[in-house]
Amino acid sequence: MTIIDGKKISSDIKHELKTSVAACKQQVNAVPGLTVIIVGEDPASQVYVRNKAKSCKEIGMNSEVIELPKEITQEQLLSRIEALNIDPEVHGILVQQPLPPHIDEYAVTMAISPSKDVDGFHPENVGQMVLGNLNKCFLSCTPYGILELLSRYNIETRGKHCVVVGRSNIVGKPMANLMLQKLEATNCTVTICHSATKNMSELTRQADILIVAIGRANFITKDMVKPGAVVIDVGMNRIEDASRKSGYRLVGDVDYNPVSENASAITPVPGGVGPMTIAMLLKNTLQSFMRANSIEAL
Ligand SMILES: Nc1nc(=O)c2c([nH]1)NC[C@@H]1CN(c3ccc(C(=O)N[C@@H](CCC(=O)O)C(=O)O)cc3)C=[N+]21
């Protein structure tokens, strides 16, 4: 059984990116810049945002965090985004979700220039991804990170049955779409399961590759997993744990210990998919910079 070490792979990718950023600097005397906007004071979001900024600095990219009060109007937020859209030093714009209820997430997604949408959430990027024009879009960071894990662990995917559990716009839908594309780490037969799926375990048990992103702690139990399956856990659930200083611990959507007895490979939480999301965000920001500066290759 292989434990898929997302932390290690993300660190490898960050080292590669650091070299690329230095090469960019040599060529055009500038470095990529990522701006993250966070609205309000959700402590979990603040942790992610700080991690993103720290990772940027590690690889020599510029990063700016804009903290806005939760009372900000949608109009004010959109005008901040418009200013970033035309700022030549900003190559990536990320507005941390979730947003307060009075702000329409769709309006915010639409406001970000597709050429700086390093989350890959804008319909132009989603559409190009669906069409398979992967050189014309930004891939959503979590699915992109999962492709990287499958590829760097040399996991055979061609012709395999991939079952995706979850249909969110940011993970389930793009993930399923990518897995059926004609790529090295994809080319699967794909099934998508969700809350209205009947007899879900009958379907998950057929999976050679099982990717789970539903946000329910320990939802996937051992009996739902075929012996030998590759299990990718996108879940990030905080559950109470009085023995921890923080009072909580992070668990995935997969009941890790029992399921790992069936799996041939599995991602842990933490240390699996999460760190890859950040690595691919940085990779997208570098990509944006290279397109803006007409750098073909490094
Ligand atoms: N516009 C937008 N884009 C996002 O990409 C986005 C977002 N909003 N809102 C929140 C989610 C969540 N997300 C994570 C990224 C990394 C870890 C990560 O690095 N996790 C570590 C552990 C972190 C911990 O210990 O809390 C791990 O799994 O090992 C987790 C979660 C990005 N998100």
- Asked whether the beta carbons of 132 and 182 are under 8 A apart, the reply is yes
What tokens appear for 255 in the block?
């009941």
Task: Take atom 22 of ligand 1 and give the residue whose Cα is closest.
Answer: 270
pLDDT above 90 (res 145): yes
Residue 146: which residues within 8 A CB-CB, separation 6 or more?
175, 211, 232, 234, 273, 276
**Ligand 1 and 215: CB distance under 6 A:** no
Rounded to the nearest whole angstrom, what is the distance from the C-alpha of residue 236 to the centroid of ligand 1?
8
CA angle 194-197-203, nearest 5°?
Answer: 95
Report the binding-site residues: 166-168
In which residue ranges of the chain is CATH 3.40.50.720 found?
141-274
**Ligand 1 and 262: CB distance under 6 A:** no
Q: Is the dihedral of CA 113, 118, 123, 124 positive or negative?
A: positive
- Asked whether the beta carbons of 111 and 78 are under 8 A apart, the reply is yes
Percent of the chain predicted with pLDDT > 70: 100
pLDDT above 90 (res 168): yes
Q: Tell me what pLDDT residue 134 has.
A: 96
Residue 177: which residues within 8 A CB-CB, separation 6 or more?
129, 130
Report the binding-site residues for NADP(+): 166-168
pLDDT above 90 (res 43): no
Residue recorded with tokens 């590690």: 58
Query: Fold for domain 29-113?
Result: Rossmann fold (3.40.50)
Q: What DSSP line would sit under 31-57, residue for residue?
A: --EEEEEEES--HHHHHHHHHHHHHHH
Among 96, 117, 233, 287, the one annotated catalytic: 96
Rounded to the nearest whole angstrom, what is the distance from the C-alpha of residue 146 to the centroid of ligand 1?
14
In which residue ranges of the chain is CATH 3.40.50.10860 found?
29-113
Rounded to the nearest whole angstrom, what is the distance from the C-alpha of residue 190 to the centroid of ligand 1?
25
pTM over 0.95: yes
Rounded to the nearest whole angstrom, what is the distance from the C-alpha of residue 277 to the centroid of ligand 1?
7
pLDDT above 90 (res 158): yes
pLDDT above 90 (res 184): no
Q: What is the pLDDT of residues 87-122, one digit of tens each?
A: 999 999 999 999 999 999 999 999 999 999 999 999
The amino acid sitting at 131 is: L
Least Cα distance to 16 among 49, 58, 54, 52 occurs for 58
Q: Tell me what pLDDT residue 146 has.
A: 98
**Ligand 1 and 63: CB distance under 6 A:** no
Q: What is the pLDDT of residues 227-256, one digit of tens each?
A: 999 999 999 999 999 999 999 999 999 999
Distance CA 211, CA 230 (A): 8
- Asked whether the beta carbons of 136 and 128 are under 8 A apart, the reply is yes
pLDDT above 90 (res 297): no
**Ligand 1 and 108: CB distance under 6 A:** no
Q: Which residues of 267-281 are buried (b: 16+ CB within 10 A; e: fewer)?
A: bbbebbbbbbbbbbb
14 given a catalytic annotation: no
**Mean confidence (pLDDT) of the chain:** 97
Q: Tell me what pLDDT residue 199 has.
A: 96
Mapping DSSP to helix (H, G, I), strand (E, B) and coil, where does residue 14 land? helix
pLDDT above 90 (res 51): no
52 given a catalytic annotation: yes
- Asked whether the beta carbons of 64 and 36 are under 8 A apart, the reply is yes
Say if residue 27 is exposed, middle or buried (CB neighbours under 10 Å; 0-12, 13-18, 19+).
exposed
Distance CA 64, CA 90 (A): 9
pLDDT tier at 76 (50, 70, 90 boundaries)? Answer: very high
Q: Tell me what pLDDT residue 298 has.
A: 78
Rounded to the nearest whole angstrom, what is the distance from the C-alpha of residue 159 to the centroid of ligand 1?
31
Q: Which of 48, 55, 171, 251 to mutate to test the pocket of ligand 1 (most atoms within 8 A of CB)?
A: 48
pLDDT above 90 (res 48): no
- Taking the CA of residue 141 as reference, the ligand 1 atom at the shortest distance is 5
What tokens appear for 143 in the block?
């699915």
- Asked whether the beta carbons of 238 and 248 are under 8 A apart, the reply is yes
Q: Tell me what pLDDT residue 46 has.
A: 85
Q: Tell me what pLDDT residue 42 has.
A: 85
Q: Which of 46, 175, 245, 277 to mutate to test the pocket of ligand 1 (most atoms within 8 A of CB)?
A: 277
Among 14, 52, 173, 283, the one annotated catalytic: 52
Query: Fold for domain 141-274?
Result: Rossmann fold (3.40.50)
- Asked whether the beta carbons of 23 and 295 are under 8 A apart, the reply is no
Q: What is the pLDDT of residues 188-203, one digit of tens each?
A: 999 999 999 999 999 9
What tokens appear for 28 in the block?
């055009």
253 given a catalytic annotation: no
Distance CA 266, CA 38 (A): 32
